Chain A
């Protein structure tokens, strides 16, 4: 368990995702409508690189012959078998209680938490930028 700074808020606009290595684990970081979420980059089914999948909405349960599209940007589909996962919870759409991918807590913290030296050397920082931190 620990804090791991994985990037700056400004680098990952809403709708974007990036895959990072934290403590030897591959993790997908997603910005869904301005809020950050982190999922283990491994599908619980056959260990595919889940976080490389498509991010879309989904058809909601409906009556036969009826299609209702909702939750745009909140649903991740495995790049192999197309299973749908809720990025907000890591739970699968079809069996949220049994099929789930590990999710991690993500916080956005002020830039002062990021070492001055690294900030100066690597990134020009604007005042409004926050930091993205993953907690394992």
Chain B
């Protein structure tokens, strides 16, 4: 941190305009969620996350535990102090972790998603949101796409829900047609779909690596694989041709793989176009028009030059949006996670790309 860092100079009372695209609010306890559930789900729900592949060190920043107790990310006052006031954030896009996408019972998954949406709307997007700092994500259980579409319609008029979200964990690549009711609902309501890591290889979901990894380090490193598979599927199945207004944001799925993957897809398409005749343009152009990536966890090679080259190759000034992943353990600091960049590029990544993508004022 230097005296000349423009982000730090205006940090504090003055907003820097940062839009943080991956912030995780937590219920104070599972009773908070249960309170929004009807029977029998209320009786059955125990909360809980992945169950295994837990981080062996710590899952959330140790200094993010609220002074008054409770899980990291559960105290809006402390989150504001430690994250948004500290960095002068203009908007924090909230992605609660419901882990509803792993359950074999689609009705149970849908009930969990609905309860998290009711909770988020009443608390973080309501009671705690006097200044409109927080924007939210509509959680859906993709095990039942029709129910997911109804859940999207239920919330679409809410002023602070800005996207739909699902885990990257799934039973099939996201371009396949069983998911289309979700994309129709996103399109008719003008909401992008955010995909966030979680429940890969859990419950009913397949693991994107060839079989089950042994340890957290292997599982966590491989999370970007499912994002790549979903993205290729979206493009080759023609989802963006079928739903021209549909947009996707890949959250926490890695960044640097994008140029190589789109180069590969374009090369394949030149020879294999006849298999996917609905693609009228090179695959990379669909990605540029319909897909955004959030930065965290940003890869940091030993040489900053290498990362900046990747930024150039992926047109980061158009496709990348800043995310911190607060309060999780791999949090990226707005002031320390990035190499030095030209001011214009920095402004695009930290603010402007998300501002226009989400239509924020």
User: Could you list which residues of chain A lie within 8 angstroms of chain B, going by C-beta atoms?
Assistant: 45-49, 52-54, 77, 79-82
Across the A-B interface, give the 9 residue pairs with the lowest CB-CB distance, nearest first: A79-B62, A82-B57, A46-B336, A46-B333, A79-B63, A52-B63, A80-B61, A47-B336, A80-B331
Say yes or no for B1: interface residue by CB 8 A criterion: yes
Interface size on B, residues (CB 8 A): 15
Given contacts A47-B1, A79-B63, contact A54 B333 (CB under 8 A): no
Which of chain A's residues has its CB closest to B56's CB?
A82
Closest Cβ–Cβ distance, residue A35 to chain B (whole Å):
24
0/1 interface trace, chain B 1-30, chain A, CB 8 Å (1 if under): 100000000000000000000000000000
- Can you spell out 23 A-B residue pairs with CB atoms less than 8 angstroms apart? A46-B331, A46-B332, A46-B333, A46-B336, A46-B337, A47-B333, A47-B336, A48-B63, A49-B63, A52-B63, A54-B57, A54-B58, A54-B62, A77-B57, A79-B58, A79-B63, A80-B61, A80-B62, A80-B331, A81-B330, A82-B55, A82-B57, A82-B329
A81 to B58, CA, bound (A): 9
Closest Cβ–Cβ distance, residue A16 to chain B (whole Å):
17
Closest Cβ–Cβ distance, residue B350 to chain A (whole Å):
16
Given contacts A46-B336, A47-B1, A47-B335, contact A81 B62 (CB under 8 A): no
Known: A45-B336, A47-B335, A54-B62. 15 other contacts (CB 8 A): A46-B331, A46-B336, A46-B337, A48-B61, A48-B333, A52-B63, A53-B62, A54-B57, A77-B57, A79-B58, A79-B61, A79-B62, A81-B331, A82-B57, A82-B58
Closest Cβ–Cβ distance, residue A54 to chain B (whole Å):
7
User: Could you list which residues of chain B lie within 8 angstroms of chain A, going by C-beta atoms?
Assistant: 1, 55, 57-58, 61-63, 329-333, 335-337
Which of chain A's residues has its CB closest to B302's CB?
A98
Q: Which residues of A contact B332 (CB under 8 A)?
A: 46
A47 to B63, CA, bound (A): 13
Closest Cβ–Cβ distance, residue A53 to chain B (whole Å):
6
Q: Which residues of B contact A53 (CB under 8 A)?
A: 62
A79 to B95, CA, bound (A): 22
A54 to B63, CA, bound (A): 11
Q: Which residues of A contact B61 (CB under 8 A)?
A: 48, 79-80
A113 to B57, CA, bound (A): 42
Q: Which residues of A contact B62 (CB under 8 A)?
A: 52-54, 79-80
Between A48, A49, A54, A80, the greatest number of chain B beta carbons within 10 A of the residue's beta carbon is seen for: A80
A52 to B178, CA, bound (A): 48
Closest Cβ–Cβ distance, residue A58 to chain B (whole Å):
11
